[in-house]
Structures are given as structure tokens and as C-alpha cells.
């Protein structure tokens, strides 16, 4: 009995020490499966635009950081249950997500697009180059009508719990057969195998896949922004509160906003964006 008591006391102390050692570290959750935003190299190390940006932001904040891997579909629940303190996972700032968490200012933005395999009947749709759903207008309406006609009865694949899924579910392009996947990799695989007539995701996710796999994936239709597609990608943080923990969350949000300001001014975000996206996606 004595041994058990001593052992559990020792365990408790170690646990307490490890918790207090971690208390000052900012833990940042990312998916590691959405290149070029965040992904993993062949040795399993996290790489990508947001991984490097996270390290930079932490230097600006002046605290130690730890990057934690988390499946996309559990990202927000994991933040809420304090598995980590911030999300940097290509997560767009949307009203729906802002009901449960809060976002820093946006640090990068890039458009979404439909992709099909070369030779598909959906190639070369008669739409403007890009539409902004927040602006509206006759151009947007006409483009959505064209898309509604073209996509009727087609299977469109998206990653689950994304702005792309929200857009298809919103009914803006009529009733399409939406198929949802856990990761973007699986969307790409099923697009290439022909199970999906089209897929919707960040345009760079498709160009990155086409480049790396050599598959004949091509973008089609307009690029999308605004509306269901949110207002850029920001750092997701828990909503602050009046208690001590809530104040720490609010403090963290302020720290991230300040760090993003500084990183933008120093040209760090632009430099990293050009490195990973091939164009300046910073905002």
C-alpha cells in the first residue's frame, strides 16, 4: 500500500511539473495534410506556410511554441477542450465558426476553385474568371446560374467541415450530390479515380496535387471568394471570458494580432507566402 501511495504521489508530482512547465508554452494546432498551407515531409516533420509562419509569430510574441497535429474534423472541438491554444490550419474566418471560437485578423487569403480531370464535360465553363459572393450583382448571379446548370446531378467532392462544403450545402449552386472526405488527399484520390465529377477546395490545393502527382487535374469555372468562403485565413482562438483562463485567451488573441501586424510590416508573411504558394497570398 505504501509503495502504491508513494508511486502515485511521485506520478502526481511529475504530472504537475510537466503541466506547469507547459503552462507558458503556446500550443498551436494544425492539420498537416493541406499543402501548401500545412503538410508533412517524407520524414513526418510538419512543414508548410503556416508552420513557418507560426514559428515567426511566436518569435514576435516572445514565447515558446509547440505545434500539435490534429485531424481537421476535430480541430475546433480540440481547441475548445484545450488540447491546444490556437488553430493555424488554413481555417477561413466565417460567421459560422465565429459562433464558437474567435479569430485573429486574417494573415493570408486565397481563392477556392472547382477542379475536374482533363477532358471532363465541366471543363471550360462560360463564367467570369472570379466571383466575390459578398459583392453580389448580376455577374455573380449569372455565374451561379451557369454553375447550377452544369453541376445538376453531378457528384462534387469536398473535405468535411470546410467552407467548400458549406458553400455546396448552401444551395447557391442548386442541388448537387455532395460527397465529404476526412482529408483533402482523399478528395484528390477520388477526383483522379473518376468517382467525383468535380471537387471544390482551395485552388492551390489542386495545383499542388497536380504538380506533385502528375495527374491531369485542371481548374474550371470561376474562382470563389467572399460569402460562404469567409474573409481570409486567421488564427483561431477560444473566445475570451472574465475569469482568469478567459482573460488569458483574450490576451493570446491580442498577442497574435500584434504579432501579425509586425510580421506583415516586416514583410515576413509576404516572403513566406511567395515561398510556399508561388504568389503573394498575404493579407
Partner 1 sequence: MDVDLIVTSFPKLLSASLVTLKLLSSSLFIGLFIGLLFAILRLNKNLIVSKFAYGYSYVFRGTPLLVQIFIIYYGLGQIESLRESIFWTILKEPYWCAIIAFALNTGAYTSEILRSAFQTIKPGFIEAGKSLGIKNKIIFYKIQIPIAIRQSLPAYGNEIILMMKGTSLASTVTLMDLTGVAKYIISTTFKPIEVFIIAGSIYLFMTFIIHNLIKYLEKKYSF
CB closer to partner 1 out of 149 and 171? 171
Residue choice 179, 237, 252, 276 for contact with partner 1 (CB under 8 A): 179
The stretch near partner 1 (CB under 8 A) out of 74-82, 111-119, 121-129, 137-145 is 74-82
Instruction: Tell me the three cell numbers of residue 88.
Output: 493555424
Q: Which three cell numbers stand for residue 228?
A: 460562404
CA–CA distance, 96 with 168 (Å, rounded to integer) = 15
What is the C-alpha separation between 29 and 76, in angstroms, rounded? 10
36: left (phi over 0), alpha (psi -120 to 50) or beta: alpha
Report the residue number, 210 or 283, with the smaller CB distance to partner 1: 210
Q: Does 74 bind partner 1 (CB under 8 A)?
A: yes
195 binds partner 1 (CB under 8 A): yes
Closer residue to partner 1 (CB): 186 or 280: 186
Which residues within the stretch 126-165 sit at the binding site for partner 1 (CB under 8 A)? 157, 160-161, 165
**Rule CB under 8 A: is residue 15 a binding residue for partner 1?**
no
SS3 154: coil
Site string for partner 1, 232-251 (x = CB under 8 A): --------------------
Locate the DSSP E strands across 160-258.
Answer: 177-181, 198-202, 217-225, 233-238
Using CB under 8 A, count the residues that bind partner 1.
Answer: 23
Distance CA 65, CA 258 (A): 16
Tell me: does residue 80 bind partner 1 (CB under 8 A).
Answer: yes
Which of the ranges 22-30, 111-119, 134-142, 193-201 carries the binding residues for partner 1, by CB under 8 A? 193-201
Contact 163, 230 (CB under 8 A): yes
Q: Is residue 186 near partner 1 by the rule CB under 8 A?
A: yes
For position 189 contacting partner 1 by CB under 8 A, the verdict is yes
Which of 94, 146, 148, 180 is the binder for partner 1 (CB under 8 A)? Answer: 180
Nearest partner of 96 among 157, 172, 163, 34, judged by Cα? 163
Least distance from C-beta 73 to partner 1, angstroms?
6
Among 37, 84, 181, 206, binds partner 1 (CB under 8 A): 181
CA 165 to mean position of chain CA atoms = 13
Dihedral sign computed on CA atoms, order 213, 113, 280, 107: negative
Geometric angle at alpha carbon 110, from 104 and 111, rounded to 5°: 125
Query: Rule CB under 8 A: is residue 256 a binding residue for partner 1?
Result: no
Q: Which of 95, 194, 214, 265 binds partner 1 (CB under 8 A)?
A: 194
CB 28 within 8 A of CB 88: yes
Q: Cell numbers at residue 110, please? A: 486565397
| Residue ranges binding partner 1 (CB under 8 A) | 73-74, 76-77, 80, 96-97, 100, 157, 160-161, 165, 179-182, 186, 189-190, 192-195
Amino acid at each position: 500500500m505504501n509503495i502504491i501511495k508513494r508511486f502515485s504521489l511521485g506520478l502526481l508530482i511529475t504530472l504537475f511539473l510537466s503541466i506547469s512547465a507547459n503552462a507558458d508554452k503556446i500550443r498551436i494546432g494544425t492539420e498537416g495534410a493541406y499543402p501548401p498551407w500545412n503538410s508533412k515531409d517524407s520524414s513526418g516533420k510538419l512543414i508548410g506556410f503556416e508552420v513557418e509562419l507560426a514559428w515567426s509569430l511566436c518569435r514576435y510574441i516572445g514565447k515558446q511554441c509547440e505545434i500539435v497535429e490534429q485531424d481537421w474534423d476535430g480541430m475546433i472541438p480540440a481547441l475548445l477542450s484545450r488540447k491546444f491554444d490556437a488553430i493555424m490550419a488554413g481555417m477561413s474566418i466565417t460567421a459560422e465558426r465565429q459562433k464558437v471560437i474567435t479569430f485573429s485578423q486574417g494573415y493570408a487569403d486565397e481563392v477556392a476553385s472547382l477542379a475536374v480531370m482533363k477532358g471532363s464535360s465541366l471543363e471550360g465553363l462560360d463564367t467570369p474568371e472570379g466571383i466575390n459572393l459578398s459583392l453580389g450583382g448580376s455577374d455573380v448571379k449569372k455565374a451561379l446560374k451557369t454553375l447550377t446548370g452544369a453541376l445538376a446531378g453531378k457528384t462534387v467532392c469536398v473535405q468535411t467541415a470546410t467552407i467548400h462544403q458549406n458553400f455546396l450545402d448552401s444551395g447557391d449552386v442548386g442541388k448537387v450530390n455532395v460527397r465529404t472526405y476526412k482529408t483533402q488527399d482523399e478528395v484528390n484520390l477520388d477526383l483522379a479515380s473518376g468517382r467525383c465529377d468535380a471537387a471544390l477546395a482551395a485552388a492551390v490545393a489542386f495545383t499542388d496535387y497536380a504538380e506533385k502527382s502528375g495527374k491531369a487535374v485542371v481548374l474550371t469555372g470561376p474562382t470563389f471568394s467572399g460569402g460562404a468562403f469567409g474573409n481570409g485565413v486567421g488564427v483561431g482562438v477560444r473566445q475570451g471570458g472574465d475569469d482568469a483562463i478567459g482573460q488569458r485567451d483574450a490576451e493570446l488573441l491580442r498577442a497574435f494580432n500584434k504579432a501579425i501586424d509586425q510580421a506583415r510590416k516586416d514583410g515576413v508573411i509576404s516572403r513566406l507566402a511567395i515561398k510556399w504558394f508561388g504568389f503573394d497570398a498575404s493579407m
